[in-house]
Amino acid sequence: MSIQESRAQPFPNPKNKPSINERLTNLGHLGRLVAQIWRTSRWLTAATIILRLVRAVLPVAKLYVGKLIIDEVVRLSGLHVAGAGFLAGWESGALNRVLLLLLLEFGLVVLTDVLTRATSLADGILAELHSNTVSVELMQHAARLDLQNSESAEYQDRLERARRQASGRNALLSQIFGQAQDMITVATLAAGLFVYAPWLIVLLPLSFIPAVLGESRFNTLSYSVSRLRTPERRELEYIRHVGASAETAKEIKLFGLGSFLIDRFRTLAEAMFLENRKLAVRRAFWGTVFSGISTLTYYGAYAFIVWETVTGQFSIGDLAFLSGSFLSLNGLFQKILLGFTQIAGQSLYLDDLFSFFEIQPTILSPENPKPFPHPIREGIVFDNVGFRYPQTDNWAIRGLNFTLKAGETLALVGENGAGKTTIVKLMTRLYDPDEGRITIDGIDLRDMRVEDIHAHVGVIFQDFVRYSLTAAENIGVGRIDDARNQVRVKQAAEQSLADTVIRKLALGYDQPLGRMFNKGRDLSGGEWQKIAIARAYMRDADIVILDEPTAALDAKAEAEVFSRFKNLAVSKTALLISHRFSTVRMADRILVLENGRMLESGSHAELVALGGRYAELFDLQAAGYR
C-alpha cells in the first residue's frame, strides 16, 4: 500500500465493530490463553492465584480495623485517658485495645505490601516465561507452514500481528487474575456496605456504566486502527531497517537515498501519528467526562453518610468505614467492568495470535508414507507437470515432461521467468503440482514424508541466507544434526573452497559473520557464496540442487568450484541452474525452458549443433567475451 493510499484510507468506523457472535468467539480465546499460561508453569500460575486470593480480603479487613481504631479513640477521648499520661493509661490497661488494633493494622499493611511484591514478582516471571513459550510455539508453527504462506503479503501481515501479540498480551495475564481478585474484594466490601446502607449500592451503577460503555467503544476503535494499519507498520519497520542497515549503507550513501528514505518514513509515520493522536484525544476527553460523573456520584453518597453521622445514626468509625468502602467499591466496580471491556478488547488482539495458529499447512506427509529411495536407481520424472502460484492465473510451468536420471547432472537454461526455480520448488516439494506428478524411482513425492524428501536433498539458492552466526555454524546448518562435527564442517569447507576464506578470519571457524553482533566480520559476495556452497557439501544428500550458485564468483573461482562439484556429483543426482554457459556446458544434459515449457534438450555440443534457442543464447553470451 502506498503512502497516498494509506492517507486516503478512512478513519475506521466504530459501527463496523465485531458482531456479538464474533465477540463471544474471541472471548473463547481467553480459555486458550489461560491453558497456555498453565502449560508454561503450573506452580507459578497456582502461586499467583493463591497470593491474589489472600490479597482480595485485605482491603475490607484494613477498613474495618480502621473503623474499630477510630471508634476506640473516640471512646478513650471521652474518658480523658490522654490527660492522665501515656504511662498511666498503659498501666491501667485502657490503651491495650487500641494498641492491639494499631498493631493489627500495621501487620495488615506489611502483609499487603509483601503480598503485592510477591504477586508482582510471580506475574513478571510468569509473563516472561509465557512470552518465551509463545514465541517458540510461533516459530515452530511458522516452520510447519507452506512456502506459499511466506510468499504472501497477507500472511506477512498476519505473522506481524501474531508476533506483536506474542509479547504484547502478557499484561492480560495479570488483568484476568486481577479481575478475580477484585470481584472477591467487591463481595466483601458490598456485604459490609449492605449492612449499614443498602440503597447506597444502587448509586454505584451511575458512576461506572458510562465509563464502561465509552471504554468498550474506544477499545474496539483502537483495535480497528491497529489492524487496519498493519501494512503501514510493516512498511515503517522495513524503511527503518533499510535506512540503518550495514547491508544497505553503501548504496544509500552513493545514491543519496538518506533524505528520500527519511522523508518517506516521516510522511508515513506522521499520517499514523495524526490518526493515533486523534483517537487518544477523543478517548481522553470522554474519559474526563465519565470520571466527573463518577466523582459526583461518590460525593453525593459521601454527603449522605456525613449527614447520617451528624444525626447520630452512624459513629465516626462507621463514617470512615462506609465512606472508604463506598469509595473502594466505586473504584472497584468501575475497574472490574472496565476490565471486562478491556479484556474483551484484548481478546480481539488474541484472535490475531490464535488465528495464526489455525493456519494449517497443505503440504503434508501421508498417513502411510513410502520410504525415500536410497540410493536412487532410476531417477526423477516430471510427468505432464503443471503449476500456478496461488492467487495467480498464469501457469508458471505446464505440460512439462522430462527425466533427471540417477547419477546425472542436468542443467536448466532459460530467461528469467522461464520456470527454472519453480521446478526446484516442486522437486523439493515446497509446492505440489496442480497437474501431473513428480516421481522418484516411480514413487510420487506426495507419497513420501516431507521430512525425508528434505533430508535427501541439498539446495543452495542464489538468494541464500547469510546467517549472523559463526563461520562453522554457517556451514553446519547444511546438516544441523552434525553441525558440531568439526571434522565434517572443515571437510565441507575444503570441498567448497570456503576454507581459504575462513583461514583469513581472525577467529577462524569461531569467527562471527556479518555486522549485526559484536566482533562480527562481514564477507564479500563471493566469500559468502563459498560458505553457502559448503552447506551443500555438508548436506551430502542424494540429490544436489544449485540455483545460480556461482553468481558472485569470478571466472577462476567458478571453474574451481565446479571442478570440485563434478567430483561431488559423481555419485549424486544433480540439478544445476545457471546463466553462465561456461558452467552449464559441464552438465551431462541441458534443458532449455521458455514460458514454463521445455523447448530443447541435449548436451552442450548437441544443442549448439542444433542451432536453436540454446545456440542463440550461447552466441550472445560468447560475443560479450570477444
When comparing pLDDT for 457 and 319, which is higher?
Answer: 457
Going by the DSSP 8-state scheme, the letter that residue 481 receives in this structure is G
**Residue 24 pLDDT greater than 90, yes or no:** no
- Considering 197-201, 331-335, 496-500, the range whose residues carry the highest mean pLDDT is 496-500
Give the pLDDT of residue 384: 94
- Residue 131's alpha-carbon distances to 30, 138, 145, 166, in angstroms, are 16, 10, 21, 6
Mean pLDDT of 378-395: 91
Percent of the chain with pLDDT over 90: 16
- Residue 193's alpha-carbon distances to 220, 332, 389, in angstroms, are 35, 14, 68
Give the pLDDT of residue 73: 77
CATH 3.40.50.300 in the chain is located at: 369-454+586-626
Rounded Cα–Cα distance for residues 606 and 612 (Å): 10
**Residue 365 pLDDT greater than 60, yes or no:** yes
Give the pLDDT of residue 171: 67
CATH for 20-357 is 1.20.1560.10
Give the pLDDT of residue 471: 92
Written as nine digits, the cell of 497 is 573452497
Mean pLDDT of 469-496: 89
Written as nine digits, the cell of 47 is 502461586
Give the pLDDT of residue 96: 78
Percent of the chain with pLDDT over 70: 78
Among 189, 177, 120, 174, which residue's Cα sits nearest to residue 333? 189
CATH superfamily name and code, 369-454+586-626: P-loop containing nucleotide triphosphate hydrolases (3.40.50.300)
Confidence tier at 518 by pLDDT (50, 70, 90): confident
Mean pLDDT of 194-217: 68
Give the pLDDT confidence of 408-451 residue by residue, as tens digits: 889 999 888 888 989 999 999 989 999 999 999 999 999 999 98
Mean pLDDT of 521-529: 83
**Residue 14 pLDDT greater than 60, yes or no:** no
pTM for this prediction? 0.65
**Residue 624 pLDDT greater than 60, yes or no:** no
Give the pLDDT of residue 94: 66
Give the pLDDT of residue 539: 83
Q: How far is CA 555 from the centre of its chain?
A: 43
CATH 1.20.1560.10 in the chain is located at: 20-357
Mean pLDDT of 266-271: 83
Confidence tier at 97 by pLDDT (50, 70, 90): confident
- Beta bridge partner(s), residue 574: 409, 544
